[in-house]
Structure 1
């Protein structure tokens, strides 16, 4: 693929879809627990995901 943004989006969808495809019951339980978290806790998880994503992009060779 020539477009790196399209490649990244495709990889994101691939990785996001693996867990619900393979383990739908477990995924539903995890999603239910996340829905019961407070907004601040969800924001903290989101911030952690952003930091890890930036770190992986920084470490990945271009």
Structure 2
């Protein structure tokens, strides 16, 4: 459970840093997400999911 909360905290810290460093870029990115078709969002989400699992698998061995 500690690792889960650590991972969530890290995600929040990275996302917060992006919003703090590049607010206009993040605003444009969020606006463009709203115009994307469901298939593109689903494919991107699945790709991110697979990449995340691979990274965790490589790090954790």
* Greater fraction helix: 2
Deviations 1:11-60 (A, max 9, x none): 11111211111110111111111110001110011001101100100010
> How does the TM-score come out when normalised to structure 2?
0.88
The gaps in structure 1 that reach 5 residues or longer are none
What is the count of residue pairs matched by the alignment? 61
Measure how far apart 1:61 and its partner are.
3.3
SS in 2 for 1:60: helix
Counterparts of 1:31 and 1:52, CA distance in 2: 21
Q: Distance in 1 between matches of 2:60 and 2:41?
A: 30
